[in-house]
Amino acid sequence: MTKKAGSARFIITIDQHGNSKDITFLESFPAGMFISESREALSDWHWQATSKNSQQHAIIPIRKNT
């Protein structure tokens, strides 16, 4: 098996139960790689709110393009 290195970026929604929903692919490097594997891994993950977010409110990061 040949090892490959790279990354993929996604936007995901995490529901109030910690499940990943609405997994949207943005980009990958190298192009076209790791998409299905990353999507599968993200859909299997279960997220848990931290003590800073004990009410399990949605957190939406906002990025500014400079």
The whole-number pLDDT of residue 57 equals: 65
The whole-number pLDDT of residue 46 equals: 83
**Which among 16, 24, 26, 10 has a CA at the least distance from the CA of 59?**
16
The whole-number pLDDT of residue 26 equals: 92
Contacts of 53 by beta carbon, 8 Å cutoff, 6+ apart: 59
Which residue has tokens 């999507």?
39
User: Which residues of the chain have a pLDDT value below 50?
Assistant: 66
What pTM was estimated for this model as a whole? 0.63
Which residue has tokens 């490959």?
4
- Which helix (H) or strand (E) covers residue 22, if one does? strand 20-29
Residue 44, CB-side half-sphere exposure with 13 Å CA sphere: 6
The whole-number pLDDT of residue 65 equals: 53
